[in-house]
Amino acid sequence: MPKYTWEDLTEYPITPGYSVAQGRVIAGEMIAVMKNWYINPHKDGKGIGANQHCHPEEMWIILTQGECEFREGDGEWGTLKPGDVHFIPPYVMHEVRATEPYEFIAIKNLINGHSIYNTTWEPGAKEAWQKVVDAYDESKKFPNNDPWFEGSGR
């Protein structure tokens, strides 16, 4: 079983088209775990982050250091502090800005042919994924009568 140390992994710019994040990524077959940060060595780090964007992956964010403001769509800005966990569903527009330099762990599902580094698609992959999305039946997602989830708060 592989063991990773964040400091031993290569640092990458994460989605540089709309973000100034730097990070390290561990990717398995179906899930990626990223340790990302928004720290600008030439400024105090305030205001930097990610412009409004969306992606086909769902994502969990766990803030580990610092503080940031986050919003979905045109909604109200909310504050994330260390220990806060935030879920972003697939294709939901969202943006983030720093109130101070911050760091977070992001967990994303992987989609064949879609890059988590720069949001590009391999030829034909976007169309193939759209067929999966179109065929998805929301009513079959975690049915309330599923005993697996009894007592889970769902």
Task: Give per-residue pLDDT as tens, 28-77.
Answer: 889 999 999 886 654 566 667 888 888 888 999 999 999 999 999 899 99
Task: Give per-residue pLDDT as tens, 80-134.
Answer: 999 999 999 988 999 998 888 889 999 999 888 877 766 677 888 878 877 777 7
Tokens of 68: 């940031």
Q: Could you state, in order of their start, the residue ranges of all structural domains in the chain?
A: 6-121
Query: Residue 136: which pLDDT band, with cuts at 50, 70 and 90?
Result: low
C-alpha pair distances (Å), 5 with each of 10, 36, 133 = 11, 14, 35
CATH classification for the domain delimited by 6-121, as one of 3.40.50.1110, 2.60.40.10, 2.60.120.10, 2.40.50.140: 2.60.120.10
Q: What is the pLDDT of residue 141?
A: 52
- Provide the whole-model pTM: 0.76
